Amino acid sequence: MKPEVVIIDLKNNNNVIRRPINADSAIMHWTKQVIALKAQSRTLQIFDLEAKAKLKSATMNEDVVFWKWFSPTTLGLVTDSAVYHWDIFDATQA
């Protein structure tokens, strides 16, 4: 069985969306149809589900041990030696 993420849209009559993923974990943005995926603790990808487009991707030099949306535009990433903030809508920020 292929792994998948299941999104339940509470604002849209509990609509269930299933997407196949190759990721260890996923976190959904709290107000937008944006999902962040993490694979092998280092590879990060951000997708806009409404536009069906990848917004950003990156591979970290260290494992990400904790991550969380901490503002409407920014994802916080914690490794064993550093804390990063990643603005997912800023096209100038890699």
Task: Give the closest residue to 34 by CA, choosing from 23, 26, 22, 42.
Answer: 26
For 8, 17, 19, 64, 70, the CA distances from 80, given in Å and listed in that order, are 32, 34, 31, 8, 19
Query: CA-based diameter of the chain, in Å?
Result: 43
What pTM, to 2 d.p., does this model score? 0.84
pLDDT at 27: 94
pLDDT higher than 80, residue 93? no
pLDDT at 75: 96
